[in-house]
Amino acid sequence: MRVYDKSYIKLNAVTENDKVQIVPEGTLSPVAKPIINRINKMFLEEKPILVDDDTIIFSSWAPPVPSPAFNRLISAQVAAVLKKRVPDQSSIGITMRCPNKCIHCGAADIIADPELSLDEVNRAVDESIDLGSYLISFDGGEPMLRQDLPDMVSHVDKTKAIAATFTSGYGLTPQKAEELKNAGLYAVRVSIDSPRQDEHDRVRGRAGSYEDAMNGINNAINAGLLTDMFVVVSPNNIDELEDFYTLAESKGMHEISFYEIIAVGRWLDHEDETIGPNDVDRLGTFQKEKNRLRDGPRVTAFPFFMGPDMFGCFAGRRWVHITSAGDVLPCAYTPLSFGNIREEPLQEIWTRMGKTKAFKKGASSCMMRDPSFRAEYIHTIPEDAPMPFSMYARV
């Protein structure tokens, strides 16, 4: 199957025993070989969500193969090899309203008054895609509280990018799930903090949040959406990996994604309550073990995926985040504002970000875990910084 076709490089997908391999040809194939080898290694060791005669869906984080959006993924990977910064994924906060009060919320200090309008969100989407993004994620707060979320999803050019949204499950009714599916939503990421109802509700700060999450999962699956269980891993729940997986499998979910708790927002003063290198290795082992199984949800462990053995930290090089107040950050967990889309084009802000020492070169793992990075950037925020930027160190 031809999955990428340019004059300088062509890629063919070959499937054998349910394993996919990408075979390059063309003048640029030697340059692309390192990244293709890395992708092929993942395809060999890990199961995709779906493989049939016409389509391969490796993950809810990647466009289907073949598709024009997948072509942009390959272009972004080639750009990375050539040391060019392309924001593969752009996440956009569309509201800070939320029924929950999660103890680890990384965006709790954002003041968005007013929050981005539909036109402003749509412009952020267009400018992100112009920069090369092939994954547009709508974030919050609770995105389901934006009644115009289906309009935002519909606006994403599906020939160039896939659209996903995060949710706690609150407000993801059968009707809303159908509206989002009809608008072209690719995936729903439902946040789960514990496989145990009482603990999940405790972390979320609201009784009934677990039931909302379970209902949201059911409604998303019934609407035909890819469903991803998004788990923020901390020292408090890392021993429950198997239970998370069992829950996702029992619900018929397509993927389970593990992210790490970051000392930011409400968790800013808890730097000693995050995961360490041994935990990252443990997540990587869990991902590999589960993805060797024929059945069950795919596992994507981002601390491993964005670690030194894989792709490194995405912040500011392969990820850009726009808050619901319009501030542009290197990622959703790095509270450094480089400008505001209400004041200047995203292209200019992205270029400025790339001139900053911390983001000129790639980092082998999450920079927010690096004490020297935090000492230089995160703990230099002036106490008297004006709102709504009290969360951010202006760079």
- Write a three-state SS string for the chain: CEEEECCCCEEEEEEECCEEEEEEECCCHHHHHHHHHHHHHHHHHCCCCEECCCCEECCCCCCCECCHHHHHHHHHHHHHHCCCCCCCEEEEECCCCCCCCCCCCCCCCCCCCCCCCHHHHHHHHHHHHHHCCCEEEEECCCHHHCCCHHHHHHHCCCCCCEEEEEECCCCCCHHHHHHHHHCCCCEEEEECCCCCHHHHHHHHCCCCHHHHHHHHHHHHHHCCCEEEEEEEECCCCHHHHHHHHHHHHHCCCCEEEEEECCCCHHHCCCCCCCCCHHHHHHHHHHHHHHHCCCCCCEEEEHHHHCCCCCCCCCECCCEEEECCCCEEECCCCCCEECCECCCCCHHHHHHHHHCCHHHHCCCCCCHHHCHHHHHHHHHHCCCCCCCCCCCCEEC
Q: Among the listed ranges 26-40, 117-131, 213-227, 339-353, which one has the minimum average pLDDT value?
A: 26-40
pLDDT range class, residue 148, cuts 50, 70, 90: very high
Q: Is the pLDDT of residue 33 over 90?
A: no
Looking at residue 388, its pLDDT comes to: 39
Looking at per-residue pLDDT, the higher value among 172 and 29 belongs to 172
Name the residue among 36, 59, 142 with its Cα closest to residue 95.
142
Q: Is the pLDDT of residue 36 over 90?
A: no
pTM over 0.85: yes
Q: Whose structure tokens read 């230089």?
A: 376
Q: Is the pLDDT of residue 48 over 60?
A: yes
pLDDT range class, residue 272, cuts 50, 70, 90: confident
Q: Write the pLDDT tens digit of every residue in 85-139.
A: 999 999 999 999 999 999 999 888 788 889 999 999 999 999 999 999 999 999 9
Q: Are 172 and 188 in contact (CB under 8 A)?
A: yes
Task: Name the residue type at position 106.
Answer: G
Q: Whose structure tokens read 């300088």?
A: 8
Taking residues 203-231, what's their average pLDDT?
Answer: 98
Q: How far apart are CA 385 and CA 327, in angstroms?
A: 15
Looking at residue 271, its pLDDT comes to: 77
Taking residues 314-340, what's their average pLDDT?
Answer: 95
Looking at residue 380, its pLDDT comes to: 52
Looking at residue 395, its pLDDT comes to: 52
Looking at residue 16, its pLDDT comes to: 67
pLDDT range class, residue 390, cuts 50, 70, 90: very low
Looking at per-residue pLDDT, the higher value among 388 and 206 belongs to 206
Kindly report the average pLDDT of the chain as a whole number: 89
Looking at residue 387, its pLDDT comes to: 38
Q: Is the pLDDT of residue 211 over 90?
A: yes
Q: What is the CB neighbour count within 10 angstroms for residue 308?
A: 13
Taking residues 12-36, what's their average pLDDT?
Answer: 77
Looking at per-residue pLDDT, the higher value among 36 and 318 belongs to 318
Looking at residue 391, its pLDDT comes to: 42
Share of the chain above pLDDT 70, in %: 94
User: 69: Cβ–Cβ under 8 A, 6 or more apart, which residues?
Assistant: 63, 134, 158, 159, 160, 161, 162
Looking at residue 34, its pLDDT comes to: 77
Looking at residue 60, its pLDDT comes to: 97
Looking at residue 386, its pLDDT comes to: 42
Taking residues 253-268, what's their average pLDDT?
Answer: 91
Taking residues 154-178, what's their average pLDDT?
Answer: 98
Share of the chain above pLDDT 90, in %: 62
Looking at residue 29, its pLDDT comes to: 80
Taking residues 43-56, what's their average pLDDT?
Answer: 83
Taking residues 67-89, what's their average pLDDT?
Answer: 85
